[in-house]
């Protein structure tokens, strides 16, 4: 196995996956790196750049370790893979208690914390609604879902309907209160993978690198010019290869972006009205506020990933207020007239390159 090997993820949805990847895209501007590893997984691409030389044997060994780690995460936590532990849970009846591997257990514990921190805006039980709206593995529907189908799906949504506990042998287990409860970890999965890859590199005493997974980025140390890594955030314009609107500097930090401008579909007969894949668990419908994108910077890529989605759900007022109160580094880009207006928390402003 080498760094270009593809995961066993289902790639028949490559068009959707491309949109998902482009939705999260940011541009890394520092390219003077020595060793690069890349591949495909979770329906998108990943890239590891390290400021250090490796001989061919060392590079192959590290490449295989990274790929193995990603495949282990997918085997436990992918909702696209029918043989994953998560997919088995999603198909199981409510009486089933599923024993968890370490990756899925870590993800679920993190999701619990983020659900609480974001007042329920980050909800991993949205999978029934995701499928109803045509953003799941089955792909797009011809029509907007009916009120009845939305109401039926939302009955199976709610973080309180899953139970994470320990079995008699101290292993973590997962169960659910209703047959229809299903989990989707897309909102934190790539961020989690970046954090785990980062741990792998740190254990090998590698101290200068950036990682990219489907547009999410995690950094360590300084770039080849002994400066913080510079990352460009794109203008959130639908159906365009967008220009960089802002450059931020990252040093031992991660950044994730959530938005409505890549993965969406227009309302039939009204091309100027769109339905985004960002669903509000409180309404069962796509968000309708003016926010186009939210970017969050945090030490943990998983937390940045989850918070970006949650703040996108909460919107320009509630989201900004929560981010400010919690001391999160976040920026909100809203559509206004024919352009965009940006509002950033104080911590985020400190990261912007003047």
127: domain CATH number is 1.10.3980.10
Is 187 inside a domain boundary?
A: no
Domain range holding 163? Answer: 89-176
Is 246 inside a domain boundary?
A: no
Is 334 inside a domain boundary?
A: no
Q: How many domains does the chain have?
A: 1
Is 208 inside a domain boundary?
A: no
Is 234 inside a domain boundary?
A: no
Is 326 inside a domain boundary?
A: no
Q: How confident is the model at residue 133 (pLDDT cuts 50, 70, 90)?
A: confident
pLDDT at 338: 76
Is 257 inside a domain boundary?
A: no
Residue 3 has pLDDT above 60, yes or no: no
pTM here? 0.87
Average pLDDT of the segment spanning 99-111 = 97
Map tokens 């639908």 to a residue. Answer: 238
Is 330 inside a domain boundary?
A: no
What token pair was written down for 127? 């999978």
């Amino acid at each position: 196995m080498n760094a270009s090997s593809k995961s066993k993820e289902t790639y028949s949805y490559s068009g959707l996956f491309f949109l998902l990847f482009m939705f999260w895209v940011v541009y890394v501007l520092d390219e003077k790196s020595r060793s690069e590893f890349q591949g495909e997984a979770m329906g998108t691409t990943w890239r590891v750049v390290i400021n250090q030389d490796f001989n061919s044997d060392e590079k192959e060994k590290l490449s295989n370790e990274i790929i193995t780690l990603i495949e282990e995460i997918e085997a436990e936590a992918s909702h696209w893979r029918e043989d994953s532990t998560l997919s088995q849970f999603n198909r199981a009846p409510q009486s089933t208690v599923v024993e968890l591997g370490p990756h899925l257990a870590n993800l679920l514990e993190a999701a619990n914390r983020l659900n609480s921190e974001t007042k329920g805006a980050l909800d991993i039980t949205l999978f029934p609604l995701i499928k109803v709206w045509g953003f799941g593995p089955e792909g797009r529907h011809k029509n907007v879902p009916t009120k009845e189908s939305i109401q039926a799906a939302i009955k199976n949504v709610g973080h309180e309907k899953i139970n994470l506990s320990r079995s008699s042998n101290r292993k973590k287990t997962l169960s659910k209160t209703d047959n229809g409860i299903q989990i989707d970890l897309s909102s934190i999965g790539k961020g989690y993978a970046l954090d785990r890859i980062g741990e792998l590199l740190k254990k090998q005493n590698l101290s200068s690198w950036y990682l990219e997974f489907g547009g999410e980025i995690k950094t360590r140390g300084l770039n080849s010019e002994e400066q913080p890594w510079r990352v460009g955030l794109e203008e959130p314009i639908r159906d365009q290869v967008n220009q960089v609107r802002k450059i931020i500097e990252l040093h031992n930090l991660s950044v994730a972006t959530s938005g409505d401008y890549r993965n969406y579909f227009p309302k039939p007969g009204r091309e100027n009205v769109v339905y985004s894949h960002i669903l509000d668990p409180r309404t069962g419908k796509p968000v309708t506020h003016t926010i186009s994108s939210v970017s969050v910077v945090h030490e943990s890529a998983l937390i940045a990933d989850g918070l970006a989605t949650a703040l996108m759900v909460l919107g320009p007022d509630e989201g900004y207020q929560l981010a400010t109160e919690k001391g999160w580094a976040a920026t909100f880009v809203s559509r206004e007239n024919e352009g965009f207006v940006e509002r950033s928390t104080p911590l985020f402003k400190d990261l912007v390159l003047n």
